[in-house]
Amino acid sequence: MVAIVLLLVAVLILVLAIFNPSQKTGLLRKLALESIAPLEGMINAASTGVSDVWERYIFLINLGETNRTLVRENAALSRKINEYREMHLEFLRLRKLLGLKEKADFPTVAARVVGRKQSSLFETIMINKGSNDGISVDMPVETVYGVLGRVIEVSWSVSKVLLLVDYNSNIDTLIQRSRAHGILQGSGEKGCRLRYVRRTDDVVVGDVVVTSGLAGIFPKGLMLGTVDSVKKEKTGLFQEIRVSPSANVTQIEDVLVILGNERRGE
């Protein structure tokens, strides 16, 4: 209320000073100048403050929009980088698979894993090649690391593969170093067991296990895995042997199907 009264007095003094065109600065004009100067300062300060606040508001709006734009661009670049990374990894996998295909002694066809099933009864995968590509039941399936399993069902363009870790999988094998004979049986998450190896046979941890070629399904000499543990009971005819598969059955994306046991050129 006091400020309003002072403002009115200042305006009144200013009006009186205006109607007093004397060249000399009279008392009323001096009072008007003294009164109006602080008010002008306050008005200018308020105006400047409002202007600064407005400019900062506009700046923050622009900054927010710029930030949102950068976030969108960053997300797009991240997706692109991830796509390129996946393409690079796929290229490396396919190059290894191509190298294996070129070195293979048997005719093969490359396929991609398109489905996976893990249950208490079966551990299988689906691949995107079938009878139209020359695949039939019992054909071996391998990776760049070793045997993965065998084909158990075939359609025109897809096939089901029984993994070597499945309880229903049995592969005739040899210990590569000592030539001891056994049957590799799947044990699910525990890997595989090497059964029917006699107590007198020479088997140690780290031995390489390969296919024997005797059962007529898998060609001889394909990599299966390495011996993890060996246990000989005081009684009994056979050793208890655990084998770690050389192919990681949970991370396979590309495979080779061996189309026949006849070696190339024979």
Model confidence pLDDT, tens digit, residues 7-33: 555 555 555 555 555 545 555 555 555
Answer whether residue 45 shows pLDDT above 60: no
pLDDT of residue 264: 46
Is 192 within 8 Å of 170 (Cβ atoms)?
A: no
Whether 85 and 138 map to the same domain: the answer is no
The answer to whether position 181 is within a domain reads yes
Higher per-residue confidence, 44 vs 227: 227
Answer whether residue 224 shows pLDDT above 80: yes
**CATH number where 121 lies:** 2.40.10.340
Task: Name, in order, each residue with C-beta under 8 angstroms of 9's C-beta and a sequence gap of 6 or more.
Answer: 35
Task: Name, in order, each residue with C-beta under 8 angstroms of 143's C-beta and a sequence gap of 6 or more.
Answer: 97, 100, 247, 252, 254, 255, 256
The answer to whether position 266 is within a domain reads no
Higher per-residue confidence, 159 vs 76: 159
Task: Name, in order, each residue with C-beta under 8 angstroms of 237's C-beta and a sequence gap of 6 or more.
Answer: 198, 199
Answer whether residue 265 shows pLDDT above 80: no
Convert the pLDDT of each residue in 162-221 to its tens digit: 999 999 999 999 999 999 999 999 998 888 999 999 999 999 999 999 998 887 888 888
Distance of CA 157 to the CA centre of its chain: 27
Integer angstrom CA distances of residue 227 from 102, 174, 222, 240:
28, 12, 15, 11
Count Cβ neighbours within 10 Å for each residue of 41-75 and write b for 16 or more, e otherwise.
eeeeeeeeeeeeeeeeeeeeeeeeeeeeeeeeeee
d(CA 25, CA 32): 10
User: Angle, nearest 10°, between helix axes 27-103 and 2-18?
Assistant: 120
pLDDT of residue 2: 47
Cite the beta strand spans of the chain per DSSP E. Answer: 108-118, 123-127, 140-142, 147-154, 159-163, 170-175, 181-186, 192-195, 208-211, 223-231, 240-245, 254-258
When pLDDT is averaged across residues 46-63 and rounded to a whole number, the result is 66
What is the dihedral sign for C-alpha 15, 16, 19, 22? Answer: negative
Whether 128 and 250 map to the same domain: the answer is yes
By residue range, what is the domain housing residue 195? 108-261
Whether 167 and 218 map to the same domain: the answer is yes
d(CA 43, CA 10): 14
Whether 149 and 221 map to the same domain: the answer is yes
Whether 133 and 49 map to the same domain: the answer is no
Answer whether residue 39 shows pLDDT above 60: no
Whether 120 and 88 map to the same domain: the answer is no
What total number of domains does the chain contain? 2
d(CA 10, CA 75): 62
d(CA 266, CA 106): 10
In the chain, the amino acid numbered 231 is K
d(CA 60, CA 111): 55
- C-alpha closest to that of 127 among 108, 113, 141: 113
Answer whether residue 92 shows pLDDT above 60: no
**Residue where one domain finishes, among candidates 57, 82, 103:** 103
> 30 in helix, strand or coil?
helix
